[in-house]
Amino acid sequence: MDPIHDSARALARAVNARDASAAEIAEALIPHAARADAQLAAYLELTPELMRAQARRVDERVAAGESLPLAGVPLAIKDNMCVLGTRTTAGSKILENFVAPYTATAVQRLLDAGALPVGKTNLDEFAMGSSGENSAYALTKNPYDLDRVPGGSSAGSAAAVGGFAATVSLGSDTGGSIREPAAFCNVVGFKPTYGRVSRYGLIAFASSLDQIGPFARSVEDAALVYDVMAGKDPLDATSVDRAVEPTAGHLREDLRGVKVGIVKEFDLAKLDPAVRACYEAAYADLERLGAELVEVTLPTADYGVATYYLIAPAECSSNLARFDGVRYGLRVDGPDVGAMYERTRAAGFGPEVKRRILIGTYALSSGYYDAYYLKAQKARTRFAEDFARAFERCDVIASPAASTTAFKFNAKSDPLAMYLMDYYTIPVSLAGLPSLSVPCGAAVPDDGTRPMPLGLQLATPLFTERALLGYAHAYERATQHAQKLTPPETANA
């Protein structure tokens, strides 16, 4: 058994068979994660004592005859999810000293299944960003090139798994915040259907879009994590009361008979030639594996970014109004309550969060609500309708997960250029569909010589996670792209 590089499935099998102990895995991971993180800055806080205590509980339960699906599996947790007794900052100064009084449902379900909490991972502040550069605390590095971004907003969660500082991790995805960093870090990143996984204990960004999902180094491990945490939660009114189909034991081995939709509007000719060639090869691989490629159309695709950047900031403006210096978090006093509000929020929020609050507040303001927010919500309905029509012609839609490889820090200082990074992922989020990024190869960036990973985005109709993970597993098994790249920066940590 290799606690650092083995899959979640292999580690859980070894612990449940008592061929290894969760305590052994914890003692191997704790120093290794610290060494790797010295390079990556993936974690805002490592939790070795929590990990050791959980390992003891897991070993006791296994000794008593229990079989735990995630026994001894090292888990990293994005720091916008509450874990009892830990600092939970959402990457923001305004929550710098906030200690969570409870544990998020999705996290608790994984802990109950035997996962070991390695630590809380870095993120763009309040999950607002596509590169990982907006954290108030640290700059997480890409494990394949420390001069490049890991993607965002789930920067640390992707880098920790890609850099072997955790076996699996949790991220949150609002407009692409799991799928894009997964593509940049050569791992699988899976966003389930909206409402399939409880958001209780997740610090909200945009409540109608946020969804928790796993990162893993294989589709099978992502399925294993998903199976444990999916399902109705009475503590989350938006979680769906619908039976969850188990996925991990029902993964496909080929794509024969599968119709794969290629979106007409997602023109690969717009991409860098090396990136375009990688995605063209991915489409060819799907066909080689027995799939039939069919053209589908999403007429609203080009309106995705504009629609998203009205809805998400509007909901962010509402959600972040609670951070006012009164109940919890940072407080900067002033001569009156109005001044206290202003000083607290000015000191506590970073530039990108302030930008989105301003956009959202404007879109919701009197005289503009109908013109902007309401119109964007109507457009959102059109996205769902367009996808529904597309799925009449195909079983799964394939597209790029990211329009570029990971870029160097500060390369995209223009906010619009950064927002356009989510061009391919946003339409799927607006429709609430299950989607994932699976490694599909690598391309050499214009400003570098080292090949950097890319991910293929797959999306299926609502609540078809089993089918989606099956298609991705068949592609992953046949191509083995993830195994063809090794993160040079952390391989010897």
What is d(CA 291, CA 438) in angstroms, rounded to the nearest whole number? 17
Assess if residue 284 is contained within a domain.
no
Task: List pLDDT tens digits, range 355-404.
Answer: 999 999 999 998 899 999 999 999 999 999 999 999 999 999 999 999 99
What average pLDDT score do residues 52-68 get?
A: 98
Q: Which of 7, 78, 169, 403 is catalytic?
A: 78
Output the pLDDT for position 446: 85
The sheet with strand 452-459 has its strands ordered as: 43-46, 116-121, 74-78, 168-173, 211-216, 188-191, 435-443, 452-459, 396-400, 259-263, 292-296
What average pLDDT score do residues 320-327 get?
A: 94
Assess if residue 471 is contained within a domain.
no
What is d(CA 48, CA 56) in angstroms, rounded to the nearest whole number? 12
Question: 34 lies in which domain range?
Answer: 8-229
Assess if residue 30 is contained within a domain.
yes
Assess if residue 329 is contained within a domain.
no
**How many angstroms separate the Cα of 382 from the Cα of each of 19, 195, 395, 399?**
53, 20, 20, 19
Assess if residue 449 is contained within a domain.
no
Task: List pLDDT tens digits, range 159-182.
Answer: 999 999 999 999 999 999 999 999
Given a cut of 80, whether residue 488 has pLDDT beyond it is: no
Q: Clarify whether 412 is annotated catalytic.
A: no
Output the pLDDT for position 100: 97
Q: Which residues pair with 437 in a beta bridge?
A: 189, 457
Output the pLDDT for position 382: 97
Output the pLDDT for position 493: 59
What average pLDDT score do residues 135-145 get?
A: 97
Contact criterion met (CB below 8 Å) for 29 and 118 = yes
What average pLDDT score do residues 468-485 get?
A: 97
Going 285 to 291 to 294 to 297, the CA torsion angle's sign is: negative
Task: List pLDDT tens digits, range 382-392.
Answer: 999 999 999 99
Q: Which of 92, 131, 153, 157 is catalytic?
A: 153
Assess if residue 331 is contained within a domain.
no
Assess if residue 65 is contained within a domain.
yes
Given a cut of 70, whether residue 438 has pLDDT beyond it is: yes
Contacts of 460 (CB under 8 A, 6+ apart): 391, 395, 396, 397, 433, 434, 435, 467, 468, 471
Q: Which of 130, 157, 177, 198 is catalytic?
A: 177
Q: Which residues pair with 482 in a beta bridge?
A: none
Output the pLDDT for position 489: 64
Q: Clarify whether 153 is annotated catalytic.
A: yes
- What is the CATH classification number for the domain harbouring 78? 3.90.1300.10
DSSP-derived letter for residue 374 is I
Higher pLDDT residue, 118 or 414?
118
Output the pLDDT for position 471: 98
Given a cut of 70, whether residue 477 has pLDDT beyond it is: yes
What is d(CA 129, CA 388) in angstroms, rounded to the nearest whole number? 29
Assess if residue 407 is contained within a domain.
no
Task: List pLDDT tens digits, range 85-115.
Answer: 999 999 999 999 999 999 999 999 999 999 9
What average pLDDT score do residues 310-326 get?
A: 96
Read off the amino acid at residue 42: A
Backbone angles phi, psi at 34, to 5 degrees: -65, -40
Read off the pLDDT band of 416 (50, 70, 90): confident
Number of domains in the chain: 1
Report helix angle 8-16 to 48-63, nearest 10. 50
What average pLDDT score do residues 470-478 get?
A: 98
Given a cut of 90, whether residue 413 has pLDDT beyond it is: no
- Average pLDDT of the chain? 96
What average pLDDT score do residues 236-261 get?
A: 96
DSSP-derived letter for residue 421 is G
pTM reported for the whole predicted model? 0.97
